[in-house]
Structure 1
Amino acid sequence: MDNSADIYDANLCRHLKKAATVQPFDLAVAVQKYIKGSYQYQELNFAELETKSNKIAYALTEYGIKAGMKSVLMVTPSIEFFTLTFALFKAGIIPIIVDPGMGLKNLKQCFAEAQPDAFIGITKAHAARRLLGWGKKSIKLYVNVDSPIEAPSFRTAKSLLTGAVNLSSLLECYSPFEDTKPEFPINWLRADDMCSILFTSGSTGTPKGVVYSHRMFEAQIDALKNDYKIESGERDLATFPLFSLFGPALGMASIVPDMDASKPITANPTHLFAAINQYQCSNVFANPALMDKLGQAGEARQQKLPSVKRVISAGAPVSIEVIKRFSQMLNTEARVINSYGATESLPVSMFASDELIMTSSLTDSGAGICVGRPVSGVTVSIISITEDNIKTWSDGLALPANQIGEIVVSGQMVNQSYYRRENATLHSKVFDPTTKAMRHRMGDLGYFDDDGKLWMCGRKAHRVDSVIKRYYSIPCERIFNTHPSVRRSALVSVKINNTITPLVCIELEQSLACSHASVLYSELITLAEKFETTSGITDFLIHPDFPMDVRHNAKIFREKLSVWAQKKIG
């Protein structure tokens, strides 16, 4: 940490303000809608985004949502999502951003923990809020994000349904004063002040509120500029709402395709290809499952994406096969970049596809997945596996190369605490007396090789400590995934004769039946004995359809599989 604790000069909106001055008429946001067989696009340039977010900031503050208050923001990727988010940042209002795909029960818990003062959302979100009682103990101000072109009677009905004032009505109420008001004054914060709460998806555990500061956002912007080489004037196909916000901050246009951002796997590839071609996107952000879907569609129709020079994948490890298939659509100089990180620290490391492909044989032999080298400004260490809290960091905790342990990261983009989750903070954060900042325990296991590259071996919670040896999820599973009948596998822990035993659940390739399970199991046992990583694994079960996380469709709910497997074996 630096000595700027009492300097109020931080706000992400400074980048938008700069872009609105330097490149006012350049495209900032475009939102695609597929209506009656044709594509329609709503657009804003940087000057318009700056002006509209100023107006909304005035309207919200005059309505009573003031600096320092917390507001839920549940708006689908749209023009309003961008204008509202930047308005909240400008006004110093703390947006609470959740993933709708986490489930209704988790959403209610998140709002209860965050204790928001306001709720800004679309009509559907407000209806759910009223029906399920989200945040009813703390929320006092409600804003419904409606369309200003709707008939007054329809807008009135929406207001009655949601119990909220319509955003269009707020803007109309304060519009007579627009000409007399100066540009909205940015609410400057200290670099480490809380400026947003982002809840983790819950795909690897209970959702937790990650406290974001402007220092974190600034560090992420620096990484995108310096490590990913994103430049002003580029255009990005934005399939993930949070990443799309970095577009305007980078002077890059965010092109939002017509898709359900909470369920990317359901996206229509035709819509995404059309958006890329319409705006000649140079950057594409897609998780591995979406990359796979686009790659398969591209291969089937011989699709080419000549404008794309960079594809960024995050959320889960992307396979070599998916990269190779997707790359068929790209020019030879285009890069596919696999990013490793988490909501608490993103990015941590990155690895380009050409290098990743060279590690595939090691991955298939149980070495884990190589996630590259740390990005600029991030320090990564490996510590011994323990469930104990670690209060204070010392360099003696770090393990040497080629020893598997828990991944610990430090740097400007590492968050310092969870919101109102003291136990989670104590378990995941380690105070570094040298930097006076927290290091973050990723909850992932991995190691450094002799060349300084980081390898990932799966979640700490997913290891299996048997009486014989310790097994790691990703190294084991990647070996079994090489069998031609296996679509994917999952290492779980079960008890057999009261002894913790590794068992591997198998999901078959879709074209195969499980009529010869005993033959498959025998072949998998033989395969397991070829590698030290998997030797000793003799128990397998075929599962018809793995439970997966909604957003990434790549994170397997091993906890559910473990319960299922235990019941199956009695």
Structure 2
Amino acid sequence: MNIIQMLQLQTMRRPTAAAIIEPAGRLKDRIATFASLEESSARGAAFLKECGLRSGDVVLVFQPMSIDLYILLLALFRGGMIAMFLDPSAGLKHLETCCSILPPQGFVGPPKAHLLRLASPALRSIPLHLVIGRSLPGARSWKNAEDFAPLREDPPDSPHAPALITFTSGSTGAPKGVVRSHGFLREQHRILEQTLAMNAGDRDLTTLPVFVLANLASGVTSIIPDADLRRPGFIDAAPVLRQINRLGPVRTVASPAFLECLCIAQFRNGGPVHGFRQVFTGGAPVFPQTLQRFAHIFENADIIAVYGSTEAEPIATIRWADVTAQDKGKMVSGAGLLAGIPVPGLRVGILDNRRIVARGVWKSAQFSDFLLPAGETGEIIVTGEHVLKSYLHGHGDSETKILMDGDVWHRTGDSGYFDQRGRLWLMGRTSAVIQDHRGTLHPFAVECAATQYPGVCRSALLQHGRKRLLLVQPRDAAGCVSLKGLSETLSWAGIDEVRCLKRIPCDKRHNAKVDYPALIRMVEKHRR
């Protein structure tokens, strides 16, 4: 059963229930029911076929989170077409590179997105252009889909057929294509439904596009925040807080930066945010002081940190209520960040990446020699039905995939270890581990401890020349951090220098993960 068939099942069960609610002006909403999504997407599929698109064709989508986006996605799935997503903030070169790796047959987006055609030869060369919104020269209007009879053909049901393609940023090399098949989406939905406790009829404040698909399959109403989700760490929180009060979502899944904005605004207003039963946060490391702040503001809600990656989402979860005083003490003293128990159906191992050199096919007896026992730190590897088996055209597989007895294991690039209770602890990126004459120092061992020091908002550990350098960002713009006191607190880490920065650069997608390449450039520029 694919996403379309799951939607059809929910349409039979609750045709008039709201499937998606999106803001349409102050205190106004646009609502799509399960039945209207089914009808509109079927008309859209017929229109796409009339435009000349066929099963297997790739369509580049630049539409932001909206009802129109999901009508389009479902229409593409009905026709057996593949939706391709790129990050416009990654720049024109990234766009051109990705389109050369996988040339699309169609391009869809709002009028603003079509302005990119003026600067992009790759976009201009795409045969079909569709615009969602006001009409534009050289593009067919998506509104024309309303005039078509719904396509009632059964959607393709091959679990191996591609459904979605995204690309990694390519910040450390060529972008890699991440292909999610219909079978992958089904398995991911199954895991998310269990992990997030999705119940038909619930309302969810949904900030991440893939979670709307999971909600549709579970009969959950998705509320799209009244905010610019392209920059989750810089949203205007007031309209979102009004939505929460008015529409009553019981759950949200959001980046820590998005939730921080809500917390700061609500703290100024006074009083907690009521209504949420569960607040899930991830997409970046969520350190203890952040979870504690969420627990204070989102009163009566279960605060749950989710660890995962593009290739395997989710991997592990931890309830803040289950974190003991002893766990908190360990995180202050260099044990890293507690990620929790791996999700059901996923196998997780710790690879001794100091010894492994050969890649490719392994036998279990050989492979087990390179897996570390509890308490020892290595690279986190995962395998399961919702773990990406291969990148587009196999580019990147040799560095990140291990085949063992028919199972494909994915190398996450994250360092970690298991404790004696089977809980996973994170130690940061393997590429950021410091190894010098004093030994090995993992970034999260220091950063998790540093962010719990008074006045520290964010921290980042670097090896700069021969020095162990810790950079910290104060919580308040006018605030300060006792660098001497912090250095003394972290004496066990042997930090050579602690510096204060007004802002540590973060990733563009979640605005929450430290952008180490950008940070290194800042440090180098300052040195010059």
TM over 0.5: yes
Matched residue type, 1:415: L
Match of 1:549 among 507, 513, 516: 507
1:79-105 Cα distance to aligned partner (Å, 9 max, x none): 111100111111110101223333333
Residue 444 of structure 1: aligned partner: 414
1:340 aligns with 2:330: no
CA distance in 1: counterparts of 2:143 and 2:75, whole angstroms? 15
Q: Choose which of 373, 398, 401 in structure 2 pairs with 1:429.
A: 401
Runs of 4+, deviation exceeding 6 Å: none
Counterpart of 1:23 in structure 2 is 14
Q: 1:267 aligns with which of 226, 232, 235?
A: 235
In the TM superposition, residue 299 of structure 1 has moved relative to its aligned partner by: 2.2
What is the CA-CA distance between 1:111 and the residue it aligns to?
A: 2.4
- Residue 154 of structure 2 corresponds to 185
More moved, 551-560 vs 389-398: 389-398
**2:516 corresponding residue in structure 1:** 558
Question: What residue in structure 2 maps to residue 7 of structure 1?
Answer: none
**Corresponding residue of 2:391:** 418
Q: Is the aligned partner of 1:169 residue 2:144?
A: yes
Contact 1:383 1:398 survives alignment (8 Å): yes
CA 1:459–1:117: 2 relative to 1, 3 Å: same
Q: 1:540 aligns with which of 472, 483, 498?
A: 498
Cα gap change, 1:273 to 1:23, in 2 (>3 Å): same
SS at match of 2:503: coil
Distance 1:277 1:521 in 2: 41
Shift of 1:417: 1.3
Contact 1:232 1:252 in 2 (8 A): yes
Whole-angstrom CA distance in 2 between matches of 1:329 and 1:482: 18
1:394-427 CA distance string (max 9 Å, x none): 23321000111000000010011111352x1110
Alignment match, 1:214 = 182
The residue aligned with 2:247 is 279
Residue 304 of structure 1 deviates from its aligned partner by: 4.4
Q: For 1:398, which of 371, 379, 382 is the aligned residue?
A: 371
Query: For each residue in 1:228-258, what CA deviation from the matched residue of structure 2 results, as whole angstroms up to 9, or x when unmatched?
Result: 2111111111112222222111111111122
CA distance in 2, matches of 1:306, 1:512: 31
Counterpart among 47, 51, 62 of residue 74 in structure 1: 62
Measured at CA, do residues 30 and 437 of structure 1 come closer, stay the same or move farther in structure 2, by a change above 3 Å? same
Tell me, what secondary structure is at the counterpart of 2:392? coil
- 397-406 vs 278-287, which deviates more? 278-287
Q: Distance in 2 between matches of 1:13 and 1:467?
A: 57
What secondary structure does 2:27 align onto?
strand
> Within 5 A, what are the aligned runs for 1:283-432?
283-332=251-300, 334-356=301-323, 358=325, 359-386=327-354, 388=357, 390-393=359-362, 394-420=367-393, 422=395, 424-432=396-404
Rounded to whole Å, the distance in 2 between the matches of 1:327 and 1:281 is 17
Q: 1:141 aligns with which of 128, 143, 153?
A: 128
Secondary structure at 2:323 match in 1:
helix
Q: Distance in 1 between matches of 2:218 and 2:489?
A: 48
Give the deviation of 1:464 after TM superposition.
Answer: 1.5
Give the drift of 1:182: 5.8
Which secondary structure does the structure 1 equivalent of 2:119 belong to?
A: helix
Contact conserved, 1:99 with 1:262, CA < 8 A, in 2?
A: no
Q: Is 1:527 matched with 2:489?
A: yes
Paired with 1:271 and 1:81, the residues of 2 have a C-alpha distance of 22
How far off its partner does 1:470 sit? Answer: 1.4
Q: 1:323 to 1:33 in 2, by over 3 A?
A: farther
- Matches of 1:511 and 1:83, distance apart in 2: 43
Superposed, 1:461-540 pairs within 5 Å as 461-495=431-465, 500-512=466-478, 520-529=482-491, 531=492, 534=493, 536-540=494-498
1:144–1:164 contact (8 Å) kept in structure 2 = yes
For residues 228 and 205 of structure 1, the distance between their equivalents in structure 2, rounded to whole angstroms, comes to 34
CA displacement at 1:124 relative to structure 2: 1.2
**Cα distance change of structure 1 residues 134 and 454 upon mapping to structure 2, 3 Å threshold:** same
Q: CA deviation at 1:521?
A: 4.8
Q: TM-score, normalised by structure 2?
A: 0.93
Change (3 A) 1:288 1:205: farther
Aligned with 2:32 (options 37, 44, 62)? 44
1:150 paired residue number: none
Q: Is contact 1:296–1:325 with CA below 8 Å preserved after alignment?
A: no
Query: Could you tell me how far apart the structure 1 residues matched to 2:242 and 2:318 are?
Result: 28
SS at match of 1:39: coil
Shift of the alpha carbon at 1:485? 4.6
CA distance in 1, matches of 2:504, 2:498: 14
Q: Post-superposition shift, 1:135?
A: 4.2
CA contact (8 A) 1:237 1:275 kept: no
Taking the aligned partners of 2:35 and 2:475, their CA distance within structure 1 comes to 51
Give the match's secondary structure for 1:397. coil
1:146–1:511 CA distance, 2 compared to 1 (3 A)? closer
Q: CA deviation at 1:390?
A: 2.4
% of aligned pairs identical?
29
Contact 1:100 1:262 in 2 (8 A): no
1:87 corresponds to which residue?
A: 75
Any unmatched runs of 5+ in structure 2? none
| 2:68 partner SS | helix
Give the superposition deviation at 1:31. Answer: 0.5
- C-alpha distance 336-316 of structure 1, shift in aligned 2 (>3 A): same
Say if 1:269 and 1:127 are closer, same or farther in 2 by CA, change over 3 A.
same
The CA deviation string for residues 191-220 of structure 1, in whole angstroms up to 9 with x for no partner, is: 223222122356787643211112221122
- The count of corresponding residues between Structure 1 and Structure 2 is 522
Amino acid paired to 1:504: L
Paired residues of 1:389 and 1:428 also in contact (CA < 8 A):
no
1:91-102 aligned within 5 A = 91-102=79-90
Contact 1:508 1:542 in 2 (8 A): yes
Q: Distance in 1 between matches of 2:172 and 2:328?
A: 25
**Letter matched to residue 30 of structure 2:** Q
Q: Give, in angstroms, the shift of residue 568 of structure 1.
A: 4.2
Q: Tell me which amino acid in the other structure corresponds to 2:87.
A: D
Closer/same/farther in 2, CA of residues 65 and 171 from structure 1, 3 Å limit = farther
Q: CA deviation at 1:276?
A: 2.1
Matched residues in 2 for 1:113 and 1:357: separation? 48
Q: Rate the CA distance shift 1:296–1:86 in 2: closer, same or farther, 3 A.
A: same
Post-superposition Cα deviations, 1:338-386, rounded to whole Å, max 9, x if no partner, equal 1100111100111112123642221111111111111110010000124
Which segment is superposed worse, 346-355 or 475-484? 475-484
Pair 1:293–1:206, CA change in 2 (3 A): farther
In structure 2, how many angstroms separate the alpha carbons of the residues matched to 1:454 and 1:56? 44
Q: 1:130 aligns with which of 114, 118, 133?
A: 118
Q: Residue 298 of structure 1 contacts residue 326 of structure 1 at CA under 8 Å; is this kept in 2?
A: no
Distance in 1, Cα, partners of 2:43 & 2:175: 33
